[in-house]
A and B are shown apart, each in its own frame.
Chain A
Amino acid sequence: MTSVSVRDVSYRYEDGTLALDSLSFDVAEGERVAILGPNGAGKSTLFELLMGLQFPQKGSIQIMGEELNSKSAPRLRRLMGLVFQDPDDQIFMPRVWDDVAFGPINMGLPEGVVRENVRKALESTGLVGFDQRAPHRLSRGEKKRVAIAGVLAMEPKIVFLDEPTAELDPKGKRDLIRVLNGLHTTMLVATHEVQTALEITDRAVVIDRTKLGEGTYPELFSNPHLLERASLDVPPIPKLFELLQNDGISLGKPTSVDEAAEILRKALSRRS
């Protein structure tokens, strides 16, 4: 089943700037897809349209097979969760527990269910013991995890994450990627960090106001012009193996350090 279907969507800001131009793509249920694009490519705007917070001037969006419009948006929003780029936009309540419970309470869930959802969300984001902490005393990485917990507690069928690892230190990034990889839901991740996208998602849609291309990572990396057009970099490991292939040394197309190490280990043991 298709979870998200975007058809010929165009959106222009009030000042006339074109944010999205005839964008189309589909995301199947359970899929993890990255929306890759440079800054200003329209990724955050796309997520606001997908959440029904704004509506496209042209084209249509379907969520779980249902047309998203001003009438259906409040109901369809129950199926979706958006993690904002800046967690301070999203964390309103003065205590972590109350913030994570904010969405489930608004959904009218019974008290027992709210408490259970909050407990599970805090656990899955590694925030056990943070319940009574004030958000303004948390690190950036912790705030990001609180924002994700706030969305997970609503048990959405589709999660949108806008630049989830932006401004995080390496440890914060690693922790967050581990949290995201532990989630089992349809996930769209907007980022300009190809390496991050690679570690979280299965495939990517490359956009710069309009769709430039889409595919799995080996497919994208075999077309370096595509990433170049989107002002994105191929991560070091795929780039290294691409260069070796250009020199006639074809060892495969690893996307991670672990895969590369395995390939090199095998190649070296064959040689010796």
Chain B
Amino acid sequence: MNAINELFSRHVSRGSAPLGSLKGRRLIWVEILLSIAVVVLPGLLTSAYQVRMLENIAIFALLAIGLNLAFGFTGQISLGHAAFYAVGAYGSAILETRFGLPAIIAWPAAVFLGMLLALLISLPVMRLSGHYLAMATLAFGLIIEKLLSQGGAVTGGHDGIIIPVSRVMGQALQDRFVYVIIIVALIAYWLLRNLTESSVGRSLRALRDDPDGAASLGIPVARYRTLAVVVAGGLAALAGVFYAHVAQVITPEVFAVHTSIQILMMVVIGGMGHRLGGVLGAIVVLIIPELLYGLDEYRNIAFGALVLAVLVFLPRGIAGLPEAIGSLYRKLSSRRVHGSDTAAKSMTGANHEA
């Protein structure tokens, strides 16, 4: 509004280029470079195992990016995210094998189903928060998991469904599927990254931190929450579609509570509310077991311990690592110089006790 410009133009003096933009400008080049690198990567890999690994990471990146939007940015925790993952996988599989639909119809339909389910579940539980929301989503995930294993002929029960991939996708697509997944994941990343860096993104974070305060600034809290969850659900369903056609067989165990928790942990470890959080989390969580090869049984324990360590020592996740190191460095160097620094800090801190 020009009114403000006119009002304060004489106050704008000290050229204050906000430093935030500087970081942002550097980071985008990193993101672009990494995007290019990722697209080129499949060509450099030597074994089918590595390709499979990459596909896995891309699939989980889709899951984690979505959950990061819904939880990290908007504050809607979900311990049942694998339910949407399942809807995508089983949805597309069922439409293809039981109804004979071609992929071109089955896949978008499955994604749409995922979004629909997300919408339906978010409506009643949206006003819950904290523990209650977490428990509700946990129960939801457990119910879906149960339905899958008890679905009889439709879902194949415990044996699951086998997807005749060559018939559905054709050989050409099948060979290049890794590129499809990577490119889709990249598109999803950039779309969501733009969203979270925009004013809408800030509004999401505001409504995560203080819904009432955000509402009084005109932010449509309920609508944004629902949209975030629906987008997350859609991305998860898409990931499910990809998974079904990569693994070629789907069983209920793949979509159990543990998967939901795994996705949540990815978001936490990667950095909640940071644009890179989902991707970093997916990469770290899936790569670490590879590095611990040989200590196979201990990998889950290592994983759990890692999450705890991140929570206690690195609350902003790996994405917050540069910042954490920076502040640690500053704290150490200032302590050497000003011994009374901590005293001053604690005084200002006490001032804003509510």
Is the A/B pair a real complex? no
Interface residues of chain B, those whose CB is within 8 Å of chain A, are none
Interface residues of chain A, those whose CB is within 8 Å of chain B, are none
